[in-house]
Amino acid sequence: MITDNNRPGQEQGQAMTTYKARTGDAVAKGLRLRESARFQRARAASSAQYDPTGAWFDRREADEADRVADAILTLPDAPAIGAGGELHLSRDDAAAKPGLACTVADNPDLTIAVASRDRLELAGDAQCLSLAVDMAETLHARNSVEKALAHQAAGAHQLAMRFAATANRWLDHVQAGQTFNEAHRMAMVEAQRAANASARLMLAYRGAALTLQRLRTGGRQVVQVQHVQVNSGGQAVVAGKMTTGHRGYRRGRKSK
């Protein structure tokens, strides 16, 4: 039943849903126009030699499509950047989900802003929004891929800790010194299940960290190989850097 107390909140939620639907439609239209412009330019490039007039019209239509797409997707004002390289949302978005932020790049357009809002809205639904923002800031995430990995790692960490806590709660049912019965056996089974889930999520967390490292290093490993040839009766020492503190043999004579 809708009362006077919850009606404003419901109306605000409906308004937010309508706003998101309209924003999503605008983004879809802008992206379709940009894709159409790319297709028309590619077609113009392939037909320029045998159909220059058609290629000219294709380029003209592509320019017009890009102009309309830019008008749709370009944000009217530069957004304010907050903690963790995140964008402060509008008052309505902030009221709908307190603490929600958008991940943005320099000079973002509507596509980036909407995608960023949706990405962090998912983190909020996963109950790890604060962890996700903090982890992205700690890692100095440089782009959307790295920030998404940070959010996934935060989600895996949050769930791993919750499953570990669940395992401990089940183990608390098994009191030392008591007779082991069926209830204790079931508690041990549930504790093991929760512990296994926690361990798998910890592996997923470490996997996200390794993936981030590979993205930043390109997956390259540097191996330095030194080849030293030693003749019969000779001796050799291989080191990265050596500093001698005394005079040794000079060429042609011995040092005194």
Over residues 19-73, the pLDDT tens digits come to: 566 666 777 787 778 878 888 888 888 888 889 999 999 999 999 988 888 888 7
Pairwise CA distance, residues 84 & 103, whole Å = 9
Q: Which position has the higher pLDDT, 109 or 169?
A: 169
> What sign for the dihedral angle of Cα 14, 20, 26, 31?
negative
Number of domains present in the structure of the chain: 2
Domain match, 69 and 112 both: no
Is residue 86 included in any domain, yes or no?
Answer: no
CA-based nearest residue to 101, from 120, 84, 114, 75:
120
Domain match, 64 and 156 both: no
Domain that holds residue 58: 1-73
Q: How confident is the model at residue 165 (pLDDT cuts 50, 70, 90)?
A: very high
CA-based nearest residue to 192, from 163, 161, 212, 158:
163
Pairwise CA distance, residues 107 & 114, whole Å = 14
Task: Indicate yes or no: pTM above 0.75.
Answer: no
Is residue 255 included in any domain, yes or no?
Answer: no
Q: What is the pLDDT of residue 201?
A: 96
Domain match, 114 and 208 both: yes
Domain match, 61 and 165 both: no
Distances (CA, A) of 236 to 12, 21, 60, 63, 231: 79, 74, 72, 69, 10
Is residue 198 included in any domain, yes or no?
Answer: yes
